[in-house]
Structure 1
Amino acid sequence: MSRPPFTPTIASLPKLVPFVGPEALERARGRPFSARLGANESIFGSSPKAVAAMREAAAENWKYSDPENFELRSAIADHHGVAIENVVVGEGIDGLLGLTCTMFLTPGAHVVTTDGAYPTFNFHVRAHGGVLDLVPMHDMREDVPRLIESAKALSARMLYVSNPNNPMGSWWPAEAMTQFIGALAPETLLILDEAYVETAPEGTAPPIDISNPQVVHYRTFSKAYGLAGARIGYAIGESSVIEAFDKVRNHYGINRVGQIGALAAIRDQAYLRDAVGAIAAARERIAAIASANGLSPLPSAANFVAIDCGRDAAFAEHVLKALLDRDVFVRKPIAKGIDHCIRVSCGRDEDLDVFAKALPAAIEDARRLS
């Protein structure tokens, strides 16, 4: 039986899977992981106040969420010192990235991003028919000056920068980011993904200028707030840009329990500070474990640490596989120039104990295979 044809853009795309989830790996392996350190979730969990609010909300999950996200947007606006008209809530940053492409991207338009940066953004660009122009990392961080030069040369419609960066954990200070923003060509929208900014040093996030329609800041409750399963993200920008999201977003796309949990979470900044402290301590321990085994941890402002395995990509792949075989779920970058690293998410002491025990044997296995 025949079917209607896909659009030319979709028909031309190969089968793409941005990430293979740990659940899929566990199904293939036939057993669970002992340490889940690959998805950059906050294993420390969310605010107990958020958990209590979500537990109470579950009894009324027969209701839809508030399609205007009014209370949550109000709380976010208060937290950042902007108006509610400058805030849109979406299904994580991922959902908002897709909507941004719908709003700004036409088939054939150029989009500049870093080779090896967050692949889900590339997924959305390809699905909308955009042309990806990839700039290599420099010194293990996004080469923002070159990104801006490339965007200017190509009259790019969009420029994607993550600060701090995933998968390396590197970052630019706010002062530098402000200078970069000032250098944007007028036809380019800067997508500033700040998913990990809560775990970054003070002075990393540039000021939010809601008068500038060229910059949209993207934040999430999935990382430091510990609500990855709730799928709640938000964007802050100039009011006419934010208003346009209402033309394309799924107004009932947010789940009500997550909406209520996020509201409680942003109101509990004391818990967030504790979680950020636990993440910082875990970064230090991951770095110590790596160094004790002759590997080189990279400085990180995120809730993970990238570790230079000291050889080539094949060696790092062997280390990764050996860790997976020992029930430790981690990931690694795949782009050339950073593919000799693995990436380990922050975890509790008991999670990092498993990693510390498995790593020496994993490295020994990798050496035998190299």
Structure 2
Amino acid sequence: MPTPHFRAYLPAMTEPRYTPLVRALPATVPFVGPETQERLRGTPFTARLGANENVFGPPPRAIAAMQAEAAEIWKYGDPESHDLRAALAAHHGVRPENIMVGEGIDGLLGYLVRLLIGDGDPVVTSVGAYPTFNYHVAGFGGVLHTVPYIDDRQDPASLFVKAAEVDAKLVYLCNPDNPMGSWRPGAEIVEALDTLPERSLLVLDEAYVECAPEGTAAAIDADDPRVIRMRTFSKIYGMAGARVGYAIGAPELINAFNKVRNHFGMNRAAQAGALAALADGDWLAHVQAEIATARDRITQIAAANGLTALPSATNFVTIDCGRDGAFAKSVVEALVQRGIFVRMPFAAPQNRCIRVSCGTPADLDAFAEALPGALATARGRSSFSG
């Protein structure tokens, strides 16, 4: 058989015809992962304390459930997440129609923004709040309007005033807060809802609420059309890599997710693991105790180095370095050089801080050993640049 002859083909079009919006967007990732930094360093981190992961891990029964499901992984996951939604509804005392399961809170935020935000639509958030939400808003052409933190806490009153001013379609509030670890009593948020503009939807991100004091969760009726709440299995349940989040909201809004979501986006093993984790209240209490112990230890390490740890209702502690963002960035870089992965807030004045995830005793021993040298290096750089 003769060898086929392929004619050289030089297409007239040198690139896909991107939309004007996509052409205008930077190709960025909201977070530089520790794996990326490890590749650049050429060595793994000694302590992974920057991504707010739950190092204490998922319940053993969740691990067993995911392992058992591995043999069935040839099957697609249930596109309705029926069993998990039913269990979550029972857990929260709501109906399955109030629950939407998705690929982590990040995935659900993307679907929500896609449902509601188009070119030029106004959205309100706090300066320096969770950047992935902003990433989705920009990706669908929305316009962000921001308000500052007050005393290192997001302020519902300021957010709602700004929402009325710009006629915001979405208002984002994280309680407890990432990146500061601060929180507001749920009753404050419920009371503030009376001032939420009629045409605005509050996105209440409660990723860390299981780490927080009693009363932090806002007692909001799941059928209240003014609010959609976001929860996750990434934090207290230790399943960040499984990507399981869920939304609680009014049935009409929840059902609208079916118009845009990836119906086979949920990993089958992750669904089984989340279902098992939800049923293990003893493990949840165990992790809550481990987090409380680790927060105390991080606070002690900060104080021993002349720094101030801010009160935290999350699985991390934000440490005030006492200077500006440039100094805090130098501290982060010096810690990374010493094998300790941490992060920091990205907007002033909160960027005067570094953020340290709760870790094992060994992790925090490594952090305690590295911090004095990292501070000395940062102070040296600061003196040199000054």
Using the size of structure 1 for normalisation, the TM-score is: 0.99
Shift of 1:210: 2.0
Shift of 1:16: 2.1
Matching residue of 1:215: 227
- Output the amino acid matched with 2:98: N
Shift of 1:183: 1.4
Work out whether residues 115 and 257 of structure 2, in 8 Å CA contact, stay in contact via their aligned partners in 1.
yes
Matched, 1:166 2:158: no
Residue by residue over 1:291-333, the C-alpha shift from the partner in whole angstroms, topping out at 9 and shown as x without a partner, is 1100000000000000000111111111111100000000011
CA distance in 2, matches of 1:211, 1:334: 35
Work out whether residues 148 and 154 of structure 2, in 8 Å CA contact, stay in contact via their aligned partners in 1.
yes
CA distance in 2, matches of 1:28, 1:265: 35
SS in structure 1 at match of 2:173: strand
CA distance in 1, matches of 2:220, 2:74: 37
Residue by residue over 1:175-218, the C-alpha shift from the partner in whole angstroms, topping out at 9 and shown as x without a partner, is 10101222111110100000000000000011131221110000
Matching residue of 1:117: 129
Matching residue of 2:217: 205
CA distance in 1, matches of 2:256, 2:193: 22
- From 169, 181, 188, the equivalent of 1:176 is 188
Instruction: After TM superposition, list the pairs within 5 Å mapping 1:136-285 onto structure 2.
Output: 136-285=148-297
CA distance in 2, matches of 1:270, 1:177: 29
CA RMSD of aligned residues (A): 0.8
Matching residue of 2:141: 129
Residue by residue over 1:116-152, the C-alpha shift from the partner in whole angstroms, topping out at 9 and shown as x without a partner, is 0100000000000000011111111112211110001
Instruction: After TM superposition, list the pairs within 5 Å mapping 1:1-370 onto structure 2.
Output: 1=11, 2=13, 3-370=15-382
CA distance in 2, matches of 1:36, 1:96: 26
Q: Which consecutive residues of structure 1, in runs of 5 or more, have no partner in the other structure?
A: none
Using the size of structure 2 for normalisation, the TM-score is: 0.95
CA distance in 1, matches of 2:312, 2:63: 28
Instruction: Answer with 1 or 2: which has the greater Rg.
Output: 2
Shift of 1:351: 0.5
Work out whether residues 50 and 341 of structure 2, in 8 Å CA contact, stay in contact via their aligned partners in 1.
yes
Shift of 1:22: 0.2
CA distance in 1, matches of 2:354, 2:219: 32
Q: Which of 244-253 and 35-44 deviates more? A: 244-253
Task: Give the number of aligned pairs.
Answer: 370
CA distance in 1, matches of 2:180, 2:334: 21
CA distance in 2, matches of 1:214, 1:107: 22
- Output the amino acid matched with 2:136: H
CA distance in 1, matches of 2:298, 2:112: 35
Q: Which consecutive residues of structure 2, in runs of 5 or more, have no partner in the other structure?
A: 1-10
CA distance in 2, matches of 1:364, 1:144: 38
SS in structure 1 at match of 2:109: helix
Residue identity over aligned pairs, in percent, reads 56
Work out whether residues 98 and 223 of structure 2, in 8 Å CA contact, stay in contact via their aligned partners in 1.
no
CA distance in 1, matches of 2:195, 2:92: 24
Residue by residue over 1:41-78, the C-alpha shift from the partner in whole angstroms, topping out at 9 and shown as x without a partner, is 00000000000111111111111101110000001000
Work out whether residues 122 and 144 of structure 2, in 8 Å CA contact, stay in contact via their aligned partners in 1.
yes
